[in-house]
Amino acid sequence: MSGRHGLTKHVLIVEDDDQLREVLEEALGEAGYRPIATQDGLEALEWLSSLPLDLIIVDILMPHLDGPELIKQVRQTSRWATIPILVLSAYANLDRYQNLPVQGFLLKPFGLSGLLEKVQTIIGS
C-alpha cells in the first residue's frame, strides 16, 4: 500500500470501542496499510499534528471529542482538509450526518472485507 513517495499508506483509526479498534488495526495492518489506533478525537488530533495521513476512519459517538466535531476541526485546518474520511456508525439512520464532508459511511456491524473494500476504493492499494 504505497502512499506519498512509495511509503506505506497511513490510516488513522478513531474508535472508542477497544475490541473493534484492535480488530480494525490488525485487519488494516494485514492488508498492508500502516494503522494508527486512537480512542477519541483528542488523541487523534495529536496524531494529525505529527504524521501525514492518507485516511481517517472515525466513529460518530466518542467521549471527549466526537466524530462530527473531529471532522469539523480536520476540515477547517488547511493542511488536513483534503485527508479522506470514512465514518463508522451503529446508527441505522444516518440522515443527520449525511452532510458531513466525508468520503463514505460504514454501518456497524460490518464485515472486514467490506471495510477493506471501502478503504481501497477511497485511497487505493
Confirm whether pTM is higher than 0.85. Answer: yes
The third-level CATH classification (topology) of the domain covering 4-123 is Rossmann fold (3.40.50)
Q: What is the pLDDT of residues 66-121, one digit of tens each?
A: 999 999 999 999 999 999 999 998 876 667 788 899 999 998 889 999 999 999 99
Name the percent of the chain lying above pLDDT 90: 74
The residue ranges of every structural domain in the chain are: 4-123
Nearest to 63 by CA among 90, 85, 35, 44: 44
Predicted pLDDT of residue 92: 62
What's 9's DSSP letter? P
Q: How many CB atoms lie within 10 A of CB 27?
A: 16
Strand partners, 63: none
Predicted pLDDT of residue 90: 84
Confidence of residue 5 (pLDDT cuts 50, 70, 90): very low
For residues 106 and 90, the answer to whether their CB atoms sit within 8 Å is: no
Where in the chain does DSSP place strands (E)? 10-14, 34-38, 55-59, 85-89, 104-107
